[in-house]
């Protein structure tokens, strides 16, 4: 029986597509360290994680049965994608399922910071009545600066503008501005102009320490700062400095350079206790609706790959979406080095062993190729062995349809 290991409690809806396909699902509520994960993956073909579990090259090399990794979240920087790629392990994530949840939290934080809600709430909890308009503003007419204009940044742009904000943004790629949003040529222009800065960049290594003392110094006095993207992009000590000096009027941080592995574990940060600072435990995409959608979506992708070899929306393998065949009995899926002559050699093997081909599809990406061949007959073991022994073959899967 095919075994799946799901870590970090993805939504219960993640189990259903797998169980319906006959997969034996084991759940572990928290994340595992490297050695624990290697031990837990013995005999496991499918691994499901969220953001805390690190799937390193060592984990991949010591997990020969592993075929698929599902990231029940947006980011995949916790997975060594190159190691997975060269081992023929397909990785899937949920790039859009929790977009709305992140955007709604950003809107809530923009308003909360503008109205000093954390400060007012804390005062009342201490029994102090402090009715004041000091440093409180409407967001209407204020300027929102968005760094990273992808699926989250663009949706935030639309909602913020609908609430009366002026929106400016910066992205390293050319992006079409939505509504009346204005693209700026440099990040510095956005930082100097915006009353609120909201970060929505991806987990690329180049974004490490994207925001430090220099960038915070560029922001206009009294501005607010929001980070709902990645913890490692912000120098927390630099943010603390600019908050305590009064240069920045507030901040909301949902992601941190180092985060606890499990709920209930202790948390510490230089930002603790600073007024008008909202700290949340990486919950940007953690709504019931988002987690349900992510569970169904990612597990659906895992099942499609398990059953039909479909790599559509895989983040590390060539994308191919072969349709379910009408009459073929077998589907041969070959992940291979993208070198000349592979398809010729593959078809030569079929001819040599008297195997008739119903249909064939190929996709290539960089140094990798993915070939899917539908067959009308059972494959002799010697044919499978021959293809597996080809010098360009990385991984071979033979599916019964």
Please pick, among 104, 259, 345, 365, the residue that the annotation labels catalytic: 259
- Is 230 catalytic? The answer is yes
* Cα–Cα distance for residue pair 184/197, rounded to 1 Å: 14
CA distances from 275 to 24, 118, 247, 319 (A): 49, 7, 13, 48
Joined together, the tokens standing for residue 350 give 């079929």
Please pick, among 115, 142, 230, 249, the residue that the annotation labels catalytic: 230
Asked whether the beta carbons of 320 and 370 are under 8 A apart, the reply is: yes
DSSP H or E run through 92 = strand 90-92
Please pick, among 282, 331, 336, 386, the residue that the annotation labels catalytic: 282
* Cα–Cα distance for residue pair 211/251, rounded to 1 Å: 13
* Cα–Cα distance for residue pair 22/18, rounded to 1 Å: 7
Name the residue among 54, 58, 77, 79 with its Cα closest to residue 68.
79
* Cα–Cα distance for residue pair 221/261, rounded to 1 Å: 36
- Is 259 catalytic? The answer is yes
Bridge partners, 396 (sequence order): 334
Phi, psi of 351 (to 5 degrees): -65, -40
- Is 36 catalytic? The answer is no
Name the residue among 283, 219, 223 with its Cα closest to residue 253.
283
Query: So which residues are the catalytic ones?
Result: 230, 259, 282
């Amino acid at each position: 029986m095919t075994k799946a290991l799901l870590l970090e409690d993805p939504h219960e809806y993640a189990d259903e597509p797998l169980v319906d396909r006959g997969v034996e699902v084991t759940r572990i509520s928290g994340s595992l360290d490297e050695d624990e994960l290697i031990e837990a993956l013995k005999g496991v073909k499918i691994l499901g994680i969220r953001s805390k579990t690190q799937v390193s090259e060592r984990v991949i090399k010591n997990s020969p049965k592993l075929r698929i990794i599902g990231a029940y979240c947006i980011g995949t920087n916790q997975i060594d994608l190159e190691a997975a790629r060269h081992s023929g392990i397909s990785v899937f994530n949920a790039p859009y399922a929790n977009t709305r949840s992140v955007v709604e939290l950003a809107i809530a934080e923009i308003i909360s910071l503008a109205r000093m809600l954390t400060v007012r709430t804390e005062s009342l909890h201490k029994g102090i009545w402090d009715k004041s308009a000091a440093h409180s503003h409407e967001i209407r007419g204020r300027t929102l600066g968005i760094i990273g204009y992808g699926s989250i940044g663009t949706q935030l742009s639309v909602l913020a503008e609908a609430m009366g904000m002026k929106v400016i943004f910066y992205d390293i790629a050319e992006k079409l501005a939505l509504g009346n949003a204005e693209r700026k040529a440099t990040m510095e222009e956005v930082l100097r102009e915006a009353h609120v800065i909201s970060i929505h960049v991806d987990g690329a290594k180049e974004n490490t320490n994207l925001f430090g003392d220099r960038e915070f110094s560029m922001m206009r006095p009294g501005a607010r700062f929001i980070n709902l993207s990645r913890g490692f992009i912000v120098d927390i000590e630099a943010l603390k400095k600019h908050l305590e000096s009064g240069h920045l009027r507030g901040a909301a941080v949902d992601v941190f350079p180092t985060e606890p592995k499990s709920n209930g574990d202790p948390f510490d940060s230089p930002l603790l206790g600073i007024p008008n600072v909202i700290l949340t435990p990486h919950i940007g995409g953690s709504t019931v609706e988002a987690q349900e959608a992510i569970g169904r979506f990612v597990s659906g992708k895992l099942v499609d790959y398990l059953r039909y070899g479909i790599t559509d929306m895989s983040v590390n393998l060539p994308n191919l979406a072969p349709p379910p065949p009408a009459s073929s009995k077998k589907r041969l899926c070959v992940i291979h080095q993208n070198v000349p002559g592979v398809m010729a050699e593959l078809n030569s093997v079929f001819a040599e062993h008297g195997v008739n081909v119903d249909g064939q599809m190929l996709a290539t990406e960089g140094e990798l190729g993915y070939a899917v061949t539908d067959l009308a007959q059972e494959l002799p073991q010697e044919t499978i062995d021959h293809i597996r022994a080809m010098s360009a073959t990385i991984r071979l899967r033979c599916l019964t349809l």
